[in-house]
Amino acid sequence: MTNYKILFLDIDGTILKPDDTIEDSTKQAVAEVKQKGIEVFLATGRPLHEIDHIAEELNIQSFIGYNGAYAIYQGKDIFKSPMSADSVKSFVDIAKNNGHELVLYTHEKNIFSDLESSVVQEFIHAFHLQKNDHYSLDVINQILGITLINLSENEPALYEKNDHNIHLSQVNVDGLRHCFDVIRDNVNKGIAIQHILELLQIPRESSIAFGDGMNDKEMLSFVGEGFAMGNGHPDLFQYAKHKTTKVTDSGIYNGLKSLGLVN
């Protein structure tokens, strides 16, 4: 049996159900693997300054945030990779010219193009974001990630053709399918995990991850045991070694049980 050492868990649609609660089976599974000495990371597109309540509920102190741009291990920073100021400015300009809204994440705040916009308010409400501010050029060198809001189906191409080192990943949350995370080819959850495994001297085959969105594809492809949630984006399953049940049907618990890690 493989000696599993580390577990990476996405949040939305993986840990959190649509009603923003966590199943008891998920809490139990996380507690059991921690008791076995397995390191557990939350690996999310969310800004880390907005997930304290989730980390506290699961007793987790290690994180990958902003889709791989910032990592913390047991409360200490491992790395931080801001976007280039030129790239950020081009995204802001394209959004403005095409009637899109966007949120830029620093390590402290969520910076919105228009806080009064109805689609922005919908986004803030969906993720219960608290630390919000208006965009200004002062933050342009501090941006760790971007989510674009109010894009139609063909509009991601506007951004991808402008910057060939990124791709857009549709947010896999009901009611927010018009939102897209900006994923950098050289900064994503998979590359963050690669850095962490090297730092902790853990072999790739000893790593496990669970995810549901297309921002998880690099993570699920890289780890030894990648699980796509049953409610995952249809295009995600090809990148995962395993498919587990839905977030509302003990997906994390059942996946870990299949590896013999929970009772």
Bridge partners, residue 147, by sequence: 103, 181
The domain that contains 96 carries what CATH number?
3.30.1240.10
CA distances to 25, 119, 157, 170 from 59, in Å: 15, 33, 40, 29
Cβ neighbours of 245 (radius 10 Å):
16
**Same-domain check for residues 56 and 24:** yes
Same domain? For 92 and 69 the reply is no
Residue 64 exposure: Cα atoms within 13 Å on the Cβ side = 29
Percent of the chain with pLDDT over 70: 100
> Where is the domain boundary, 184, 216, 233?
184
pLDDT digits over 57-101, tens only?
A: 999 999 999 999 999 999 999 999 999 999 999 999 999 999 999
* Integer CA distances (angstroms), 186 to 82, 138, 142, 156, 164, in order: 12, 25, 17, 19, 12
Number of compact structural domains in the chain: 2
Residues 180 and 191 in one domain: no
- Kindly give the confidence (pLDDT) of every residue in the chain, 263 residues in length, as a single tens digit, with 9 standing for 90 and above: 679 999 999 999 999 999 999 999 999 999 999 999 999 999 999 999 999 999 999 999 999 999 999 999 999 999 999 999 999 999 999 999 999 999 999 999 999 999 999 999 999 999 999 999 999 989 999 999 999 999 998 999 999 988 888 999 999 888 788 999 999 999 999 999 999 999 999 999 999 999 999 999 999 999 999 999 999 999 999 999 999 999 999 999 999 999 999 98
Q: Does 98 share its domain with 176?
A: yes
HEC readout, the chain: CCCCCEEEECCECCCECCCCCECHHHHHHHHHHHHCCCEEEEECCCCHHHCHHHHHHHCCCEEEEHHHCEEEECCEEEEECCCCHHHHHHHHHHHHHCCCEEEEECCCCEEECCCCCHHHHHHHHHHCCCCEEECCHHHCCCCCEEEEECCCCCCHHHHHCCCCCEEEEECCCCCCCCCEEEEECCECHHHHHHHHHHHHCCCHHHEEEEECCHHHHHHHHHCCEEEECCCCCCCCHHHCCEECCCCCCCHHHHHHHHCCCCC
Question: Closest Cα partner for 10 from 25, 1, 22, 19?
Answer: 22
Q: Is 162 in the same domain as 193? A: no
252 is a domain residue: yes
139 in the same domain as 109: yes
Residue-range definition of the domain harbouring residue 58 = 6-80+187-258
**18 and 136 within one domain:** no
Strands 145-149 and 180-184, how do they pair? antiparallel
Residue 90 and residue 60 share a domain: no
Q: Which of 130, 162, 184 is the last residue of a domain?
A: 184
pLDDT tens per residue across span 103-128: 999 999 999 999 999 999 999 999 99
Give the up-direction half-sphere exposure of residue 2: CA atoms within 13 A in the CB hemisphere. 19
Residues 127, 102 share a domain = yes
Please check whether residue 263 lies inside any domain of the structure. Answer: no
Say what the pTM is.
0.91
Pairing of strands 225-228, 207-211: parallel
Q: Are 236 and 219 in contact (CB under 8 A)?
A: no
Nearest in space to 97 (alpha carbons), one of 160, 155, 170 = 155
In a domain, 151, yes or no: yes
**What residues have CB less than 8 Å from 166, skipping those under 6 apart?**
87, 159, 160, 182, 183, 184, 185
CATH number at residue 217: 3.40.50.1000
* Predicted pLDDT at 163: 80
